[in-house]
Amino acid sequence: ALNQSKGLGKMHSLMLRCCRLIGSANFLTRLAQSTPVAVSNSNYNKRLLTYASGVAMTTDRYGGVMLDLSAVNEGTDEDLVMEHIRDAVSNSLTVAPAAWVRVPLHLSSLTTHLAVDGFRYHHAEGYYATLVKWLRPGRPSKVPRFGTHQLGVAGLLIDDESLLCVREHRLPPKQGAQTKKPHQSPWKLPGGVADLGEEIGDAAVREVAEETGIAARFESVLAFRHHHWHPMAFNRSDFYVLCRLSLDGQRRGELKPCPDEISKVDWLTVSQLDALPTEEVAPILRASLPLIRLGLRNGFKTVDMQRFALHSLYTAKRVSLYHRPLLGEVE
C-alpha cells in the first residue's frame, strides 16, 4: 500500500498545512510515529496522507475525517489498522464533526472493532460498507441518512380515449392459506422501479416497452405520489411519478406482455375502469382517474408538468426541473 509515486516532494509543506487544518500542535510528531508514507494535497475529498497500514485519510467539505481501508492488504495486523484509525480520529477531534470509515467486504471483521469504538453503519452496497461516528457528543448528529427514497414510475399511454393497462402475475396462494388471493394483481398502469441514474421519462418508456411491447415517447409528468415506510422499498419511502406518454403518431402496435411479469395487457376506458370492483383496480390508478378525466376533457396541457433542462454545479449529467409550462409568460 505504498503510494510513494505521488508527490512525496511536496510532503513536508503539505503535512504542515494538514497540521493547521487538523489543529493539533503535536500532530507532525505523531504523524511521524504513525508512519504516514504518502501525502498528496489538501483539497477537499483529495488524499491527505496514507498510513503504513494502508489507511488513507481525506477530509470532506464539512471538515469531517474520511478513512478509506481499500488499500489495506488482507492479513494486515488488525491492531495496527485500528491504531492508525484512532490516531487519525483523535487528531481531528477539534475540527471534525464526524469520522467516516469505508471498509471493504473482505476486511469486514474490522467493523467489530470499529463498533466498540462507537462507529455505526451509515450505508453499504456491493463490496463496501461505510461506518460513521459523530464526534460532538453534546450536540445532535447532523449526519444525513443515506438514500431515504426509491423512485418508481408509471407510463400513462392513451389512444382513442383508452388507457394501456396491465395485470401482474402474483405468487399462487399457499396451501391452507386463510385468504384466497388471486393469482394476478389488479389492473394498473405499466411501470416499475427506476434504475440508479435513470431519467424519469426514460424509465417510464422502458417499463412500458418491457411490460407491453409498445414503443412510446415521454410527454409530461402528471402527478407524483409520496409514500413513507413502503414495504417494497425496504421500509424506506417511495416516490411514484405518473408520466404521460404518447404513441408519437404511430399506430398502437401489437401487445406483447412480458411473460415473466405480466398476465394481461389491454386498452381500457376511464368508464370501464370506474365500473370495475374496488379490488380490480390499483388504488393509485383509481386515485388518478379524476385527473385523467379532466385531461381528456380539457386537454392535458391544462394539467401537465413540463421538463426543463438545467445545468449542475457538480456533474456533466443533465438535471431536470419539472413544473407548469411557461406559455403564459411574456418576457
Cβ proximity to a copy of itself: between 4 and 41 the closer is 41
Query: Cβ contacts of residue 297 below 8 Å, gap of 6+?
Result: none
Find the binder of a copy of itself among 166, 194, 243, 273 (CB under 8 A).
Answer: 194
Find the binder of a copy of itself among 12, 120, 217, 252 (CB under 8 A).
Answer: 120
Subset of residues 60 to 99 that bind a copy of itself, contact rule: CB under 8 A: 61-63
SS3 102: strand
- Find the angle CA(300)-CA(304)-CA(309) to the nearest 5 degrees: 140
> In which residue are the cell numbers 461505510 written?
130
Cα–Cα distance measured from residue 71 to residue 323, given in angstroms and rounded to the nearest whole number: 46
Find the binder of a copy of itself among 15, 85, 129, 265 (CB under 8 A).
Answer: 129
Query: Cβ contacts of residue 127 below 8 Å, gap of 6+?
Result: 104, 105
The answer to whether the CB of 180 falls within 8 A of the CB of 166 is no
Residue 270 interacting with a copy of itself (CB under 8 A): no
Residue 134 interacting with a copy of itself (CB under 8 A): no
Residue 249 interacting with a copy of itself (CB under 8 A): no
Find the binder of a copy of itself among 149, 159, 264, 267 (CB under 8 A).
Answer: 149
Cβ proximity to a copy of itself: between 38 and 242 the closer is 242
Which of 59, 124, 127 shows the shortest CA–CA distance to 95?
A: 59
Residue 329 interacting with a copy of itself (CB under 8 A): yes
Identify which range of 48-56, 82-90, 208-216, 296-304 contacts a copy of itself by CB under 8 A. 296-304
Amino acid 130 reads T
Find the binder of a copy of itself among 117, 159, 199, 210 (CB under 8 A).
Answer: 199
Residue 209 interacting with a copy of itself (CB under 8 A): no
Cα–Cα distance measured from residue 234 to residue 221, given in angstroms and rounded to the nearest whole number: 26
